[in-house]
Chain A
Amino acid sequence: MKLLNCPVNGSRPVSEFAYGGEVRAMPPADCTDPQWADYVFHRSGIPGVKVEWWYHIASGTWFYAERDVSLDRILRTWLPGESPEGEIR
């Protein structure tokens, strides 16, 4: 079973979590139509280490996870507004 470390609830089975996609910056409200379409649809589909949104369903916790999307290895997790430093598990 694959485990994911929730910053609030600790190590839990990955089936308790929902994936929220890569963390991306939203363009400003006055951006052009093509810029908005790019934000809505386009993704960086290439492998690498990505920072993603994850959600612990039971406790309703959204948090960040840094994950290698080729090896499926989670490097660290932290809550929004907190720093990831020293959190490597």
Chain B
Amino acid sequence: MAYQLLRFALSSRHPEPRMFRQPGRLRDTYDAVIIGAGGHGLASAYYLARDHGMRNIAVLERGYLGGGNTGRNTTIIRSNYLTPEGVAFYDESVRLWQDLAADFDLNLFYSNRGHFTLAHTDSAVRTMRWRAEVNKHLGVNSELVGPEDVKSACPQIDLSCGGHAPILGALYHAPGAIARHDAVAWGYGRGADQRGVEIHQQTEVTGIDVEGGKVKGVNTSRGYISTPKVLCAVAGFTPRVTHMVGLRTPIFIHPLQAMVTEPMKPWLDTILVSGSLHIYVSQSARGELVMGASLDPYELHSTRSTLDFVEGLAAHMLDMFPFLSHARINRQWAGMADMTPDFAPIMGKTPVEGFYLDAGWGTWGFKATPVCGKTMSYTVANDRNHPLIEGFGLARFENYQLTGEKGAASVGH
């Protein structure tokens, strides 16, 4: 450690290799353009280059790599969803996570913790049982457990939650995990870069050129690029980009806030979620308690954060963990969540030929980063929706065939 620091101090050049190149000028044309260098855009670029032999690709990022929701999320990874489409999809993602660090040769701090979704009411217990049965039927490891199991996994918890929201049971999902979000973006970015993909930061897409219902190119803050394929993976900016191609979608933007405490000794092994108390919490490798709540209640295109949020969340944390009354809050922040009416994503081909969407990831898309990369790269390369994303098409709204995940996604993310 000391030697490492010294090396940085004494070296006039940066002593470590850079994670990725900084390509100079944009080329006039690419085989595909990916808008957004978040985890989803970079993962798609990585698998396009690695598995589909498409290397003449530009990833365009208006800000900096990983600076969107990827770098703002609370990193919960799980597959205990409610619909068969959802469970199959997220389960594949959890599988992909397992060897990702080896694949990248980069420590992702992937940490398998186990995940409890607490039930404080009879109806919540019923939903947990439903989810457990759907999960088990589809081969996902989930169980309905009692309050005593929660207590033995987390002895510090007040099972009565201050007396007003006693814990009646929980959905326990053993594969639940957390990971280091930045490293995921860097790993995919480096892997894509090494295979020839160009990542252009500080490059905003300002328009999309569509002729005769087909994508021809994109206008950027650094000039025009011609390309037959555009993948839109811009999370909280999705409505602005779909507006460029005249596509109507149900996506609406609300902020999602989060905060961390000062670091403390490790005491919380598991991930805990409570829909009734509007909290979820885990302890990071650094020792900070990483906490979040539900969405802000109204539309806002901004990453401002509020004192109301800290007060409300802290009060509910104290219901569960009264001993934390002296813990201090270190940081708070927000991201813009691209929400859908059924809490499932919108993915795949669109009525505009060559325009592909990976959006509607709202408050729950980090865990899906690998599987989104896999399925969107397949979809872009073959101009055919990957079978795993069939339930997530934009046309489901027109056809009144929603993929209802609200019961599994609204606070749990």
Contacts and interface: CB of A to CB of B under 8 A. Distances in A.
Contacts of A47: 240, 253, 301
B308 A15 contact: yes
A38 B248 contact: yes
Interface string B292-306: 000001111110101
Nearest to B254: A19
B274 to A, nearest CB: 20
A13 to B, nearest CB: 9
A18 interface: yes
B252 interface: yes
A43 B240 contact: no
B300 A41 contact: no
A46 interface: yes
Contact of B308 (A1, A18, A42, A71): A1
Given A34-B398, A37-B397, A37-B398, A45 B300 contact: no
Given A18-B297, A19-B297, A37-B397, A42 B250 contact: yes
Interface string A8-20: 0000000100110
A23 interface: no
A45 B302 contact: no
B301 A70 contact: yes
B238 A45 contact: yes
A71 B398 CA distance: 32
B240 A46 contact: yes
Contact of B252 (A2, A37, A38, A45): A45
B87 to A, nearest CB: 24
A71 B301 CA distance: 8
Nearest to A36: B400
A15 B238 CA distance: 28
A38 B301 CA distance: 23
A42 B249 contact: yes
A43 B340 CA distance: 10
A72 B251 CA distance: 19
Nearest to B396: A41
Contacts of B302: 70-72
Interface in A29-52: 34, 37-38, 40-47, 50, 52
A28 B307 CA distance: 44
A69 interface: yes
A19 B251 CA distance: 17
Contacts of B243: 46
Interface of B: 238-240, 242-243, 248-253, 297-302, 304, 306-308, 338, 341, 397-400
Sorted from nearest, which 8 A-B pairs have the closest CB atoms?
A: A45-B239, A19-B298, A47-B301, A41-B250, A41-B397, A42-B248, A70-B301, A46-B239
